[in-house]
Amino acid sequence: MAYFDAASAAPLHPVARQALLASLDEGWADPARLYREGRRARVLLDAAREAAAEAVGCRPDELAFTSSGTRAVHTGIAGALAGRRRVGRHLIVSAVEHSSVLHSAELLEAEGGTVTQVGVDRAGLVDPAAYGEALRADTALACLQSANHEVGTEQPVAAVAERCREAGVPLLVDAAQSLGWGPVDGDWSLLTASAHKWGGPSGVGLLVVRKGVRFAPQGPADERESGRATGFENIPAIVAAAASLRAVRAEAAAEAGRLRELTERIRARVPRLVPDVEVVGDPVRRLPGVVTFSCLYVDGEALLHELDREGFSVSSGSSCTSSTLTPSHVLRAMGVLSEGNVRVSLPAGAAEEDVERFLEVLPGAVAAVREKLGAPVASEVVREEKVLVVDSLGKRCPIPVIELAKVIGDVPVGGLVRVLADDEAARLDIPAWCEMRGQEYVGEEPADRGTAYLVRRVV
């Protein structure tokens, strides 16, 4: 089985396993106690903190260990907002942030605060100038991921941090996807990360708060981790997380070059091997091991099952998956095709032969899914003057797009196809199809049921 979902969770690094087992015998006691066992545990905890701080590029006393990356994000945002409550309750986030950031933003809005969401281009990249324009007198905090978890696009953190610094606003960076590859550039104020993204054990997160940043921990007071993370420290897991971070950093330069070559191979060959595919994400500013593409006329869940049967573990941001009925917020913000979406995220040590076998298997898997869908004929077609109405109400992606593709040739050049659909994915996938096929997306209009999407035939 080839595991190609490292962006969700990287396999446990051998160094993490060794450190975890070794520290189980020495790090079980309370590090706050002064007797021998407590002192041993404290030595392990302090050493892990110093190693992690060195990798991040901060002082050890600026770094706290949390129970997860998500907890680090929630704690960091809540504490920074509370620390600057006299300034205001305005938060800036990008439209492609991890859900942990967006959920914190939703909570702030529910409590009466305001949120500005900065958009991205079709590559998933933010414009630093847009962050500058979003800054206000009452802005308490800005957030920006270092690299996107779904499409791999690396963000201009240093440029955004400079604009925030000039305005006196702290910037929180979610570095979960990138920290294993290197420190985050720029004059950021807060940083979060998660150990299971770089091959450490799950259940360990990092929260860094630079000296001088106003920060007020929320919730009941706790004396551990500078009051920023409650509960007894999981010292064996923390030691393993720090040891694996140091290990992957030592391997990062060589492994990044190797994985970039493999993902570039996928990016270049998939569109040649599979018709009607859109490769998404920035082609240059991207993580070494991540490549994402979407396939027209394909059910994302069905494609993942086909690939799983062939021995490949991949993930999807498609709306056609069992866990969601709406497209990925990242793909939606980018305005790219969401149906048949596949994210390949290669772990360290991924074998070249596995990538080659994936490229051999993929065309057949996509073809099998398309064949099972049967390229259905539109259920109801009503012909008007130069207008063809396709009723796709009650049908989930990719059926509305398939039905559009089947009938676009039935109208003359300049004629319209009016697609009726009530699947949220159609709002994203029909414009994306037009972009790929050289047709004109006119827009949408209300319908008695669902929404009517208008497409003008150009070719």
Could you give the residue numbers annotated as active site? 320
Do 172 and 185 touch, CB atoms closer than 8 A? Answer: no
Distance CA 103, CA 432 (A): 27
Distance CA 417, CA 36 (A): 78
Max distance between CA atoms of the chain, in angstroms, equals 88
Distance CA 279, CA 336 (A): 9
Amino acid at 4: F
